[in-house]
Structure 1
Amino acid sequence: MKFLFDSFESWKNHCLENDISVFQPVIDYEIEQKGKKEEHIWDGMQRALDVMRDAVNSGLTKDMTSHSGMVNNGAKKVYKSEKHVLNKGFTDMISRALAAKEVNSCMGKVVAAPTAGASGIMPGVLNTLQEEHGISDKKITECMLVSAGIGLIIERNAGIAGAVGGCQAETGTAAAMAAGAIVHAFDGTIDQIFNSVGITIQCMLGLICDPVAGLVEVPCIVRNASAAAIAHSSAQIAIADMDAVIPVDECVMAMGEVGQSMEDRYKETALGGLANTPTGRSISKRVLIQDIEMLPDEDKDED
């Protein structure tokens, strides 16, 4: 078990050799490596699922206005829209991803899946998946365990932080986790699950991390919604047995290579991309002035 999550290939082989479900090695990993009891693992997944639901509900019902003003109840606007590009289910899904991420940006409680910056993707996908198809909490928590294993491997071989590998590492990993969850929810094979991960990574490869004013708001929130959509398309492609061609472990390797070669200004420094546009720089100055004005008088005097 020590080296189980070094690669997707080792995970697959372990499952096939022992004739076990794809989520079982994740439970075994937690028991052996973290010293947890199995019932506590399942309880933890359920608590995480409940927090995700609460985040979605809060984002769609409470005021979500951030200090910067860049977050201003956008999820509600999408959720209440009467025009649907595809169908109501798609609109609901992206609005839920937006909602949970807005909660994070407004200092609410979220599940880092795998990071706070990508915390809207799994809630948006799982909540909608469950509603649209009547999937039980037990099955959804199985999906979450599969997602956790996916995140472990990507973290080990490429990285999941924007400061390490750009937004491809954060929202890309979360989208890959969500895609695998969707395929497992439909009882897909292990090859289909891992194929969906590879396809997702291919779609997200090279995405930079360029938060305006250094805040995890713009473009982070809308990227959570688009990443949730990519997770669905990748899952659909994989379920239909379309081959990603490049094996999933090689896709992860490519993500790591791209992340390493990416310039620092594109890795959460707010020095490039959208953060370096005229509007982005203007917002950054305004937010800085607001922060200074909020300081206690003694702190201002020291400056």
Structure 2
Amino acid sequence: MFAKDGLELLEICESKGISLSEYAILYEMDSKEATREEVIELMRKHYEVMKRSCSEGMEKEVYSVSGLIGGDGYKIKKYLNSGKSITGNVMIKAMGRAISCAEVNASMGQIVACPTAGSCGILPAVILTAGEKLELSEDEQIRGLFSAAALGLIIAQNATLAGAEGGCQAECGSAAAMSAAAVVEMMGGSPKMSLDAAAIVFKNIIGLVCDPIAGLVEVPCAKRNFAGAISALTTADLVMAGVESKIPFDDALSAVYTVGKNMPSELRETALGGLAITKTGMELKEKVFNNLEK
């Protein structure tokens, strides 16, 4: 059972009466020649790492090796506890968890690169926050990760997950699209609704460049993680309200890939364009490398 694109994925799910998560589980069982229990237990291990990386930076100040980022996850936790948020606890928790994970990654801590290290905070933050809000069990949240994986397979086959090839739309964009699809399933939506959510996320993030300061996956990457998490959660609500994507998932993904290929190399993770070459960006780069030389 192999889907070459989103349309075929929907056809398989509809003909067999299965969810995106079930498709991903069956795919893994077949490709890895593993039992259902083995596939789910491996995902459970990833889930546990995600939980730790999403909480570590909120419980204590975590700083990157370069010193460019750190302590923001902890600040967000304190703000959450203040009760002053205008967007509510769900959004603040998602932001804090996404930032925490990005900070743990930059400090050389353990994360799950899903789909990449640079976008590692989006999916964990979304799954954990949505799962908590919906009062879902650990097993149900793990099913959410499989839903995201089903979309990740299609993206990897038909486009790219690498910022060096497609800009940040390929990294944080893919992570947010996968997350939105997962939350829709977690909320009881259909596979078609999940793909609509992923398409909408891609449409709203298309063209996002990859311009890391000093070539490090820290600035602006960490804050793009929180933005991706919020995009996924709000888009899931949009789709569950009955809003459809006028552009189908496969077309949206194709457009993202084409835009990525058309980006100049300066805007694809080379640190030679965008924010990386602003006055402040260059000053931060110099500061980082001066510190490394000491």
TM-score between the two structures when normalised by the length of structure 2: 0.96
Residue 15 of structure 2 aligns with which residue?
Answer: 17
Residue 65 of structure 1 aligns with which residue?
Answer: 63
| 1:55 equivalent among 53, 63, 74 | 53
Secondary structure of 1:80's counterpart equals: helix
Task: Report Cα offsets for 1:97-153 as digits up to 9, x if no partner.
Answer: 111111001110001110111110111111211222210111111111110110111
Rounded to whole Å, the distance in 2 between the matches of 1:259 and 1:100 is 26
Secondary structure of 2:63's counterpart equals: coil
Rounded to whole Å, the distance in 1 between the matches of 2:239 and 2:245 is 8
Q: Tell whether the 8 Å contact from 1:56 to 1:124 is kept in structure 2 after alignment.
A: yes
Residue 219 of structure 1 aligns with which residue?
Answer: 220
- Structure 2 matches for 1:169-188, cutoff 5 A? 169-188=170-189
Gaps of 5+ in 2: none
Q: Which runs of 4+ in 1 moved over 6 A?
A: none
The Cα shift of 1:50 comes to 0.8
Rounded to whole Å, the distance in 1 between the matches of 2:279 and 2:65 is 20
Residue 273 of structure 1 aligns with which residue?
Answer: 274
Q: Tell whether the 8 Å contact from 1:214 to 1:269 is kept in structure 2 after alignment.
A: yes
Task: Report Cα offsets for 1:46-103 as digits up to 9, x if no partner.
Answer: 1111111111121112331123221120111122113212112211111111111110
TM-score between the two structures when normalised by the length of structure 1: 0.93
Residue 285 of structure 1 aligns with which residue?
Answer: 286
Rounded to whole Å, the distance in 2 between the matches of 1:93 and 1:28 is 30
Q: Which amino acid aligns with 1:127?
A: L
Instruction: Choose 24-33 or 154-163, whichever is displaced more.
Output: 24-33
1:45 aligns with 2:46: no
Residue 169 of structure 2 aligns with which residue?
Answer: 168
Task: Report Cα offsets for 1:197-227 as digits up to 9, x if no partner.
Answer: 1001001111000000111110000000001
Q: Tell whether the 8 Å contact from 2:179 to 2:232 is kept in structure 1 after alignment.
A: yes
Secondary structure of 1:115's counterpart equals: coil
Rounded to whole Å, the distance in 2 between the matches of 1:184 and 1:158 is 23
Residue 191 of structure 2 aligns with which residue?
Answer: 190
Rounded to whole Å, the distance in 2 between the matches of 1:111 and 1:72 is 19
Rounded to whole Å, the distance in 2 between the matches of 1:67 and 1:140 is 32
Q: Tell whether the 8 Å contact from 1:52 to 1:111 is kept in structure 2 after alignment.
A: yes
Q: Tell whether the 8 Å contact from 2:61 to 2:74 is kept in structure 1 after alignment.
A: no
Task: Report Cα offsets for 1:136-189 as digits up to 9, x if no partner.
Answer: 111111111110110111111110010010000000000001101110111101
Q: Tell whether the 8 Å contact from 1:5 to 1:149 is kept in structure 2 after alignment.
A: no
| 1:76 equivalent among 62, 74, 77 | 74
Rounded to whole Å, the distance in 1 between the matches of 2:243 and 2:37 is 37
Paired residue total: 291
